[in-house]
Amino acid sequence: MQIKREICTMKLVKHPNVVRLLEVMGSKARIFIVLEYVTGGELFETIATNGRLKEDEACKYFQQLINAVDYCHSRGVYHRDLKLENLLLDAAGNLKVSDFGLSALTEQVKADGLLHTTCGTPNYVAPEVIEDGGYDGATADIWSCGVILFVLLAGYLPFEDENIIALYKKISKAQFTCPSWFSAGAKNLITRILDPNPTTRITIAQILEDPWFKKGYKPPVFDEKYQTSLDDVDAAFGDSEDRHVKEETEDQPATMNAFELISLNQALNLENLFEAKKEYKRETRFTSQFPPKEIITKIEEAAKPLGFDIQKKKYKMRMENPKAGRKGNLNVATEVFQIAPSLHVVELKIAKGDTLEFQKFYRSLSTQLKDVVWKCDGEVEGNSTLA
């Protein structure tokens, strides 16, 4: 159940400062979770190795943390275990929140409007969580963010004691002292966050308006390329020939591997299990018994009257609308995969553009491909077996 909740939570959160869940697949014995590869290690290791951060660097990480937490809360997600060990850094030095194993959703809030499960890491947990009388998930997360900010600036925890009871007493009374090197602005913000009274504790909206927080603040950038992984397609249309994806034969499209085949199997694909409310999908697939070259030709013939420019390389295709939409020019990457000599899967993904515009484009395209699509038992309503 914990794994199910974590997957469900991560599918709700798509933010540049949160580790991204890329895919979920399953078999009769295992669940496979594919996460974004983050190479910079834990922020905890940075502090443990190099000590406290300079104030401007600590502020940058704290801004990214608040951006991520604010987004999670807007989606009804409360992390409940925010700590340095759960903050990762990517290759560019950007913060990534990870490990939603103890997270809670709005649906878990009781009739009194509060959460009641005591959880988290003792040194980072809010006083109201310890007192076990119910707590607001958003307010408790803010406290943990305050502890993180203190550690970034000080190099050590604000609340420490070998005796757990003594530790909890310090937390409940907010018994901590800011080091002398804290600036007045940082000290003021931390004091307002580490307020033992959750009703008077500073909110995220107020943090965003705090003068110290706003220094050099950069809002999050939601990169469309972040939404899907299309490295192989990008390589196929790159300028350098040595970056092109090499196919084994001239006459056959790429063969899908075992994991990809699992993800296409409706009985084993776990996406619907963990996603109660479906969003517009950023990719779709259909199966066909037509020869692969003929499939590509048919798609090209159907896309051109819709005003799309076409680029082809063997069994890969880029279709771009020269007219800009709500999120720029819609760019769709298409590839034909072979499952068996007489059966192929055609995959269409957004490389750039708006999801709703992609769905409208596919509906128009699919009406022209009725003779290409292979119908099978258990397919969804319509003319194709959509993934």
Q: Which of 56, 70, 81, 132 is catalytic?
A: 81
Q: Domain containing 113 — which CATH number?
A: 1.10.510.10
pLDDT score of 291: 87
Q: Indicate which CATH number applies to the domain containing 339.
A: 3.30.310.80
Both tokens assigned to 387: 């993934």
Do 203 and 280 belong together in one domain?
no
Q: Within 13 Å and on the Cβ side, how many CA atoms surround 330?
A: 24
Which residues are registered as beta bridge partners of 335? 316, 347
Provide the pLDDT for residue 54: 96
Q: Examine residue 329 and state whether it is found in any structural domain, yes or no.
A: yes
143 and 17 inside one domain = yes
* Cα dist from 93 to 46, 82, 87, whole Å: 11, 19, 11
Nearest to 303 by CA among 325, 289, 322: 322
Answer yes or no: do 180 and 244 share one domain: no
The band of 225, judged by pLDDT with boundaries at 50, 70 and 90, is very low
Do 44 and 139 fall within a single domain?
yes
Q: Is 323 left (phi over 0), alpha (psi -120 to 50) or beta?
A: beta
- More confidently predicted of 50 and 103: 50
Instruction: Check whether residue 148 and residue 21 sit in a common domain.
Output: yes
pLDDT for position 1: 56
Residues 201 and 90 placed together within one structural domain of the fold: yes
Given 214, 240, 260, which residue is the final one in a domain?
Answer: 214
Catalytic status, residue 81: yes
Residue where a domain terminates, one of 159, 193, 214: 214
Are 352 and 296 within one domain? yes
Q: Within this chain, do residues 229 and 313 fall inside the same structural domain, yes or no?
A: yes
Per the structure, the complete domain to which residue 341 belongs is given by: 225-367
- For residue 299, tell me if it sits in a domain: yes
Same domain? For 168 and 314 the reply is no
254 found inside a domain: yes
Q: What tokens does 364 get? A: 């128009």
For the stretch 361-382, pLDDT in tens is 888 888 888 888 764 333 433 3
In a domain, 260, yes or no: yes
Q: Which pLDDT belongs to residue 28?
A: 67
Residue 331 shares a structural domain with residue 236: yes
Identify the top-confidence range among 103-107, 168-172, 271-275, 358-362.
Answer: 168-172
Q: Does 112 score more than 80 pLDDT? A: no
Question: Do 279 and 165 fall into the same domain?
Answer: no
Could you give the C-alpha distances from 177 to 64, 122, 174, in angstroms and in order? 25, 18, 9
- Report how many domains make up the chain: 2
Q: In this structure, is residue 384 part of a structural domain?
A: no
Residue 81 domain-assigned? Answer: yes
Q: Is the residue at 383 inside a domain?
A: no
Residue 382 included in any domain: no
Q: What is the mean pLDDT of residues 109-113?
A: 77
Q: What is the pLDDT of residue 265?
A: 55
* pTM score above 0.85: no
Count the neighbouring beta carbons within 10 Å of the beta carbon of residue 166.
12
- pLDDT at position 267 over 80: no
Please write the tens of the pLDDT for every residue from 127-176.
999 987 899 999 999 999 999 999 999 999 999 999 999 999 999 999 99
Residues 51 and 189 in one domain: yes
Residue 257: which pLDDT band, with cuts at 50, 70 and 90? Answer: low
Of all residues in the chain, the percent with pLDDT exceeding 70 is 80
Q: What is the pLDDT confidence band of residue 229, given thresholds at 50, 70 and 90?
A: very low
Q: Among 164, 193, 214, where does a domain finish?
A: 214
Q: Give the model confidence (pLDDT) of 18-42 as tens digits.
A: 998 887 777 667 777 888 889 888 9
If residue 345 lies in a helix (H) or strand (E), which one and from where to where? strand 343-352
